[in-house]
Structure 1
Amino acid sequence: MKLERLVSMIYMLLNHEILSASALAEKYNVSQRTIYRDIEAICAAGIPVVSYHGVNGGYGIMEEYKMDKSLLGSHDVDSIITLLRSMSTIFEDEKAEETIHKLQTVQRESRNPAMSLDIGSWRPYNENLRMIKDAIANQFVLQFEYVSTKGERVNRSVEPVHLQYKYDSWYLYAYCRLRKEYREFKLPRIMSLVVTGEHFLQHQHEPKPAKTFNEKTHSGKGDTSITLRFSPSCMARALDFFVGVDKRFNEDGSLEINLENQDMGGIRWLMPVLLSFGDGAEVVEPLELRKMVKDTLQNMIEKYREV
């Protein structure tokens, strides 16, 4: 009960200029002597409580310790709290929770949040996220087995720089000692992660900027235009995946998506995406890609010839 009273008193002092001992005693239904002891305990915890004398005297927290409410509007505070809540859930970050409590003291009114954010709190690799975050903070070398886009399993030793969330997944940006350059590693492909006790020196690097969907898919090495048609049953998922591209709705209810300036030599990423839609997706053009899909499907059928 005393701890709850102390925490409540701290927030009361943060939200008011000055509170008298009598007002605090009345609110918490204790004696003024108890309030004096509570104030001493709060000061001992490192929170700078100031005593003001006179008719309108009482207790307050040093102004330099408070966050100026005029610096942040209610929308700013709500947005920051929303982001911090999601991050604290993933990383079990007590400091983030403390920051949330501090920000709540500058909210002008208590209300239900207009927005919530979940950037992967359910992910099975959240423990890896927390290990990597600690390794970045302490500059520890990481070791793991990584599965490349070519299906190769290679042991990597890396010096982690930062974590980034994009394309609905987490990525580690790090200096790879094997390749001797900075690389991105997708977390679901990281296995047998180990945080070594080896420290590395801070590198002079420029963080890799996040790419848009078009930058990711357009290599600039070709000018092929790809048109895909999706049935109504697959339309919602197609819109979820292909963001920021040209699209057209047909009279029969189907959806057509156009990908401009594609390099057919680097189109491997599109094949598994198309196959995941089953018969709900069709390549309209080019003919070369239609043949690639046909050949892939025929190879798949051969695997089940005896069924």
Structure 2
Amino acid sequence: MMQVHRMFEIIYLLMHKKTLTAKELADQFEVSPRTIYRDIDTLCEAGIPIYTTKGKGGGIRLVDSYILNKSILSEKEQEEILSSLYGLHAVSGDTEQVLSKLSGLFNKTSPSWIEVDLSQWGADDSGKYQLLRTAILQQRVIVFDYYNSYGQFSRRRVEPLQLWFKHKTWYLRAYCTDKEAVRLFKLTRMKRLEQLEDIFEECPLLRTDGLLPDPPSRQTPSIQLVLRIDASQAYRVFDEFEEEQITKEQDGSWLVTVEYPEDEWVYGYLMSYGPYAEVLAPAYIRDILKERLQLAANRYL
């Protein structure tokens, strides 16, 4: 592995410094000139066009205008590698050096077709993502304050496994030592996040198996809702629902049929539309919302 890394660095240096002597490369990598010549022979056998010249101004150099893709990677493979690294850079922020080197080797300018910002508007969450990334890769236990979907507060101690992005939201998949089961934690609800010195040994089954189901007593039943949403809310309709769930009415309003788990979240979500949405079915949901809206109105009377 050390030899491969050194040969990669040799190519990079030759592309930027044009000509180097065996002694200069040997000093750079703290090896003998003989080792450098062996590396050069290996690179030549792999199809890298390196040649040496003797005399004043001589040394080791690459064929002019050489780029890495002529020998190893296709154009598509280069683009896929750079795009993947830019995605990682958005989360970790520590791939800039690798990106710079590969962009130079591929003779490509930095792709600018996408920009990823994981923070909320007006907030900087980059530290949270970096801490979680480090904890996952180093298998370090973390603790944090958490409010679940029932509004219950707890201090959690977990073994982090993966970051998940699902339905516009980031989650942490982790083994909760208190519940002794794998759980999903919404990142926006995780506060006072800390990484401990404790190292955990990951069970392979936890990585490959799906989420363990909640106990039956905590499973949330789903309901099918029929909503009429005002025409002025088109931006929300197309942000929040699938096309097959939406029907446009003659008056310009939107008829939406959607299935959601029935819990506190769905009541708050429906109320977030204010006067711009009406629940047509089921009838008992209408009654629940009437009662909650009345209680809310009483606070201002």
TM-score, structure 2 normalization: 0.71
* 1:117 and 2:111 are equivalent in the alignment: no
1:200-257 Cα distance to aligned partner (Å, 9 max, x none): 11213135669xxxxxxxx9956x5321122222111221122365211122222221
- Taking the TM superposition and a 5 Å limit, the aligned residue runs for 1:37-186 are 40=25, 43-44=28-29, 50=40, 52-53=51-52, 58-60=60-62, 71-74=73-76, 77-78=78-79, 80-93=81-94, 96-105=95-104, 107=106, 110=109, 113=112, 115-121=113-119, 123-186=123-186
Matched letter for residue 188 of structure 1: T
Judging changes above 3 Å, is the alpha-carbon distance between structure 1 residues 42 and 146 closer, same or farther for their aligned structure 2 residues? farther
Structure 1 counterpart SS, 2:207? coil
State whether residues 125 and 187 of structure 1, in contact with CA within 8 Å, keep that contact through their aligned partners in structure 2: no
State whether residues 160 and 172 of structure 1, in contact with CA within 8 Å, keep that contact through their aligned partners in structure 2: yes
Judging changes above 3 Å, is the alpha-carbon distance between structure 1 residues 54 and 193 closer, same or farther for their aligned structure 2 residues? closer
Gaps of 5+ in 1: 1-8, 22-34, 211-218
State whether residues 135 and 160 of structure 2, in contact with CA within 8 Å, keep that contact through their aligned partners in structure 1: yes
Count of matched residue pairs: 262
State whether residues 220 and 263 of structure 2, in contact with CA within 8 Å, keep that contact through their aligned partners in structure 1: no
TM-score, structure 1 normalization: 0.70
Query: Paired residue for 2:203?
Result: 203
- Taking the TM superposition and a 5 Å limit, the aligned residue runs for 1:152-301 are 152-204=152-204, 205-207=206-208, 225-243=224-242, 245-260=244-259, 266-301=262-297
Q: By how many angstroms is 1:54 displaced? A: 6.6
Query: Equivalents in 1 of 2:131, 2:275: separation in Å?
Result: 41
1:250-284 Cα distance to aligned partner (Å, 9 max, x none): 22222221115x56xx3443222222222122212
Matched letter for residue 238 of structure 1: V
Judging changes above 3 Å, is the alpha-carbon distance between structure 1 residues 67 and 139 closer, same or farther for their aligned structure 2 residues? farther
Gaps of 5+ in 2: 1-9, 41-49, 212-218
Query: Equivalents in 1 of 2:250, 2:196: separation in Å?
Result: 59
State whether residues 142 and 195 of structure 1, in contact with CA within 8 Å, keep that contact through their aligned partners in structure 2: yes
Query: Equivalents in 1 of 2:297, 2:285: separation in Å?
Result: 18
Q: By how many angstroms is 1:147 displaced? A: 0.9
Query: Equivalents in 2 of 1:39, 1:67: separation in Å?
Result: 26
Q: By how many angstroms is 1:11 displaced? A: 4.8
Query: Equivalents in 2 of 1:289, 1:220: separation in Å?
Result: 16
Structure 2 counterpart SS, 1:206? helix
